[in-house]
Structure 1
Amino acid sequence: MTTVSFASAADTRAQQAHLVELADRVYGFVSDFDPNCGFIVGDDGVLVIDTRATPTLARELRDAIASVTDKPVKYVFLTHYHAVRVLGASVFDGATVISSAGTLDWIRTRGDADFASEAGRFPRLFQGIEEIPGLTYPHMVFEDTLTLWFGGREIQLRHFGAGHSFGDSVCWLPAERVLFSGDLVENRCGVYAGDGYLRAWSKTLAKLRALDADVLLPGRGAALSGREQVEQAIDGTQRFVDTVLDCVGAAIARGASLKECYFQTLETMKPMFGDWPVFQHVLPFDVCRAFEELNGAEHPAIWTAGRDAELWKLLHE
Structure 2
Amino acid sequence: MSKSRIPAREIAERPEGYGGPNLSPVGLELAPHAFADGVYALMAGIPPKDNNGLIAGRDAALVVDAGITPEISHQIQRLAAELTYRPVRYLVNTTYHGDHTFGNAAFPAEVVIVSSRRNKSEMSDLAYEKEVRSANMYGDGGLLDEVSRWRTPDVVFDSYAEIDLGGRLVQLHHFGPGNGPGDTVVYVPDTRTAWTGNFLCHAGTAHMLLQGGPEPYLASLRRMREALPELDTIVPGHGPMGDGHAAIDALVGYLEVLHDEVAASVAAGRSLEETFATCSNPWAERLDPTLSAALTTYAVPGGPAQAGMLQLCRDLHRLNILATYRLYEGR
TM-score by length of 1: 0.81
Q: 1:67 & 1:289 partners in 2: Cα distance?
A: 42
* 1:105 aligned residue: 121
Q: 2:41 & 2:218 partners in 1: Cα distance?
A: 25
Distance 1:151 1:189, change over 3 A: same
* 2:320 aligned residue: 286
* 1:85 aligned residue: 100
Identify which of 271, 276, 279 aligns with 1:257.
Answer: 271
Identify which of 14, 20, 26 aligns with 1:7.
Answer: 20
Tell me whether 1:154 sits opposite 2:172 in the alignment: no
Structure 1: any 5+ residue segments left out of the alignment?
A: 298-317
Tell me whether 1:202 sits opposite 2:215 in the alignment: no
Contact 2:42 2:51 in 1 (8 A): yes
Deviation, structure 1 residue 103: 0.6
* 2:208 aligned residue: 192
Deviation, structure 1 residue 193: 0.8
Q: 1:285 & 1:255 partners in 2: Cα distance?
A: 19
* 2:237 aligned residue: 219
Identify which of 149, 171, 180 aligns with 2:186.
Answer: 171
Q: 1:118 & 1:270 partners in 2: Cα distance?
A: 25
Tell me whether 1:233 sits opposite 2:247 in the alignment: yes
Structure 2: any 5+ residue segments left out of the alignment?
A: 1-15, 288-308
SS of residue paired to 1:180: strand
Considering fraction of residues, name the structure with more helix: 1
Deviation, structure 1 residue 6: 4.6
Distance 1:125 1:88, change over 3 A: farther
Tell me whether 1:268 sits opposite 2:277 in the alignment: no
Deviation, structure 1 residue 5: 6.1
Deviation, structure 1 residue 96: 1.1
Deviation, structure 1 residue 79: 1.0
Correspondence list, 1:136-151, <5 A: 136-151=151-166
TM-score by length of 2: 0.77
Deviation, structure 1 residue 237: 2.5
Q: 1:203 & 1:126 partners in 2: Cα distance?
A: 36
Q: 1:48 & 1:61 partners in 2: Cα distance?
A: 8
Deviation, structure 1 residue 127: 7.4
Distance 1:245 1:272, change over 3 A: farther
Q: 1:13 & 1:116 partners in 2: Cα distance?
A: 18
Correspondence list, 1:107-126, <5 A: 107-108=123-124, 111-123=126-138
Distance 1:9 1:166, change over 3 A: closer
Deviation, structure 1 residue 124: 6.6
Deviation, structure 1 residue 90: 1.9
Distance 1:125 1:181, change over 3 A: farther
SS of residue paired to 1:43: coil
The one-letter code sitting in structure 1 at the alignment partner of 2:210 is G
The one-letter code sitting in structure 2 at the alignment partner of 1:20 is H
Distance 1:124 1:43, change over 3 A: farther
Alignment RMSD: 2.7
Moved more, 159-168 or 251-260: 251-260
SS of residue paired to 1:130: helix
Deviation, structure 1 residue 296: 4.4
Deviation, structure 1 residue 14: 4.6
SS of residue paired to 2:219: helix
Contact 2:39 2:56 in 1 (8 A): yes
* 2:35 aligned residue: 22
Q: Between Structure 1 and Structure 2, how many residues are aligned?
A: 289
Distance 1:122 1:260, change over 3 A: farther
The one-letter code sitting in structure 1 at the alignment partner of 2:269 is G
Moved more, 18-27 or 3-12: 3-12
SS of residue paired to 1:51: coil
Q: 1:125 & 1:19 partners in 2: Cα distance?
A: 25
Deviation, structure 1 residue 15: 5.1
Deviation, structure 1 residue 151: 0.9
Distance 1:182 1:280, change over 3 A: same
Tell me whether 1:57 sits opposite 2:72 in the alignment: yes
Distance 1:163 1:279, change over 3 A: same
The one-letter code sitting in structure 2 at the alignment partner of 1:286 is N
Q: 2:65 & 2:166 partners in 1: Cα distance?
A: 22
Contact 1:104 1:141 in 2 (8 A): yes
Tell me whether 1:68 sits opposite 2:102 in the alignment: no
Distance 1:207 1:192, change over 3 A: same
